[in-house]
Amino acid sequence: MKQSVQLLLLIALILNFNCQQKHQSLSFTTQDSLAIINNILQYRVEQDSFFRYSEISPFNRDTTIQYEGLKYFPPDIKYYFKSKLYRYDNPETVVVLGTKGEERKQLKYGYFVLNYEGKEHKINVYKFTIYDSIRYKLYKDNLSFWFRDRTTGKETYEIGRYVEIGDESPDPEYVYTIDLNKAYNPYCAYSVLYSCAIPREEDYLDFEVKAGEKKYH
């Protein structure tokens, strides 16, 4: 019975993905759609396992909170993008405030361009700096961004959400995948023990990102 339900879900999601192609500059075959859906669903399974069982999960570090499963929007092709990384000529180190008032220094390295329903939206991409020495040593090539959008504070966490891209490619013409279906909440969304970076005013996507993780509480 469970396998039948999963199969029906996959079929429904594929149909939804194919219907949404008219809103995107990208096009997908059914095989592409199935691979994308499976990737998103597998990501969610891995996230659930981490939060339930990992020793470093916020729910296992903070005994005052209980894990009840993450809440997500259904996968949606409208929020699956491709873009080159447009590096700034002179990347600047900027101050990003944390939710507990501390100042963090991040490198505003470049930006992606997301083509959503015929309109281009720019989102800044950040790297760690030597001011965060531990993370810099571990993740100095890592690209990530955070954002707010029209769902922020309504269906999604009021601080904003994050997206991890992975390590920067040495190829300046490399085309990255930006899947907002994998937008996630920082740990401060679950526990007061944590502080997280607050998206700056310019880190705003002027549309509803009905994809990725919803509010937990």
Task: Write out pLDDT tens, residues 75-88.
Answer: 998 999 999 999 99
* Cα dihedral: 167, 207, 158, 127 (round 10): 20
Residue 141 binned pLDDT confidence (cut-offs 50, 70, 90): confident
Residue 167's alpha-carbon distances to 27, 138, 161, 190, in angstroms, are 26, 11, 19, 27
Percent over 70 (pLDDT), the chain: 84
The contacts of residue 58 (CB under 8 Å, 6+ apart) are: 51, 65, 187, 190, 191, 193, 194
pLDDT band at 135 (very low <50, low <70, confident <90, very high): low
Residue 17 has pLDDT above 70, yes or no: no
State pLDDT tens for residues 158-197.
999 999 999 999 999 999 999 999 999 999 999 999 999 9
pLDDT at 84: 98
* Residue 159 token pair: 């601080």
Q: What is the pLDDT of residue 44?
A: 98
In degrees and rounded to multiples of 5, residue 112 shows phi and psi of: -105, 155
Q: Higher-confidence residue: 156 or 137?
A: 156
Residues 72 and 212 sit within 8 Å (Cβ to Cβ): yes
Note the pLDDT of residue 136.
Answer: 52
Position with higher pLDDT, 133 vs 1: 133
Q: Is the pLDDT of residue 15 over 90?
A: no
Instruction: Please tell me the pTM assigned to this model.
Output: 0.86
Rounded CA gap, 106 and 111, in Å? 14
Residue in the block written with tokens 């810099």: 136
pLDDT at 97: 96
Q: DSSP string spanning 67-110?
A: -----BPPP-GGGEEEEE-EEEEEEEEEEEEBTTS-EEEEEEEE
pLDDT tens digits along 24-75: 557 778 888 889 999 999 999 999 999 999 999 999 999 999 999 999 999 9
Q: What is the pLDDT of residue 31?
A: 85
- Non-local CB neighbours of 117 within 8 Å, separated by 6+ positions: 23, 78, 207
The whole-chain average pLDDT of the chain stands at 88
Q: Is 213 exposed, middle or buried (0-12, 13-18, 19+ CB in 10 A)?
A: buried
Helix (H, G, I), strand (E, B) or coil at 205: coil
